[in-house]
Amino acid sequence: MSIVQKISQHIKQKGLRTTLGKAWKHYVLSHQELLWMERDLVSPVPPHSLRPYPPVRSVRITADNASAFARYFGDRVATMAELANEGHTGLMYLDDQGDAIGFIWGSKRDYFDRHYYGCLFPVKPGEFFEFGGELTRPFWGTELSVDVQLELWKAMADQGCDKVVDVCEFHNIPALKLHLRMGYTEQGRIMNIYTLFGRWRFYRETRYSGSRLDALRKPSRPSVPATAA
């Protein structure tokens, strides 16, 4: 199918305005909003109804064992080794074959994300920046999405941290719901990322008051004890 045919088909399915908007964002100017979130490491984690998961083994990520990512995250083996060499704290979860099915990272110092967003995320004393959390599809919606964070929080609390901060894309609804489920609160700050012609990036921080996530909140239920510290 030619490019013209693809465009024509997309217009028929989505409409001209939607097609033009998508083309503008892809080829001219795109804008991402990253909401800053935070949480202490000792408050109870709200209850959840996530599925249990089969046994996995937690291992600290090092440059020497990063090859465990080859099967499910093959394009990121070198990145994992690089992050470990830089001194960030990373945890991976291995299945019974010894392959990594998930991971999460934390940084006690300012984190420059050259692998994805291309910007600097500042970290204050006592905080750590959580990033890179990901699970393979069979583990989506399981209790592992909670347990990986709790284990990282404990590891960082042992290093003297008392707060976790991170950013979440405003249009990533599943990730935002996960943050609310874990008891995160909004800082009222947004890291805005603009990409021009698919090449040049510009960054600007803005602030807001109130909450932008009220529509995603569920009625509160009794909390359960946290195990992070």
pLDDT tens digits for 88-127?
999 999 999 999 999 999 999 999 999 889 999 999 999 9
Residue predicted with more confidence, 27 or 206: 206
Q: How many Å apart are CA 76 and CA 10, to the nearest integer?
A: 33
Q: How many Å apart are CA 77 and CA 69, to the nearest integer?
A: 6
Q: How many Å apart are CA 18 and CA 65, to the nearest integer?
A: 45
For residues 142-168, give the mean pLDDT.
97
Q: Which two tokens stand for residue 155?
A: 């590891």
What average pLDDT is seen over the chain? Answer: 89
Count of Cβ atoms closer than 10 Å to residue 145 Cβ: 22
**pLDDT band at residue 20 using 50, 70 and 90 as cut-offs:** very low
- Predicted TM-score (pTM) of this structure: 0.83
**pLDDT band at residue 24 using 50, 70 and 90 as cut-offs:** very low
Residue 221 has what pLDDT?
54
Least confident window among 84-88, 126-130, 214-218: 214-218
User: Residue 215 above 50 pLDDT?
Assistant: yes
For residues 182-187, give the mean pLDDT.
96
- Residue 131 CA to its chain's centroid (Å): 5
Bridge partner list, 120: 112
pLDDT digits (tens, 9 = 90+) for 36-89: 999 999 999 988 899 999 999 999 999 999 999 999 999 999 999 999 999 999
Bridge partner list, 103: 92, 134
Q: Collapsing DSSP states into helix, strand and coil, what is residue 100?
A: strand
Residue 158 has what pLDDT?
98
Q: For the chain, what's the residue count?
A: 229
Of 123, 201, 131, 141, which is closest to residue 168 (Cα–Cα)? 131
Residue 11 has what pLDDT?
54
Q: How many Å apart are CA 41 and CA 144, to the nearest integer?
A: 18
Residue 61 has what pLDDT?
98
Give 199's contacts (C-beta < 8 A, 6+ positions apart): none
Of 88, 91, 65, which is closest to residue 151 (Cα–Cα)? 91
Answer yes or no: are the C-beta atoms of 30 and 194 closer than 8 Å. Answer: yes
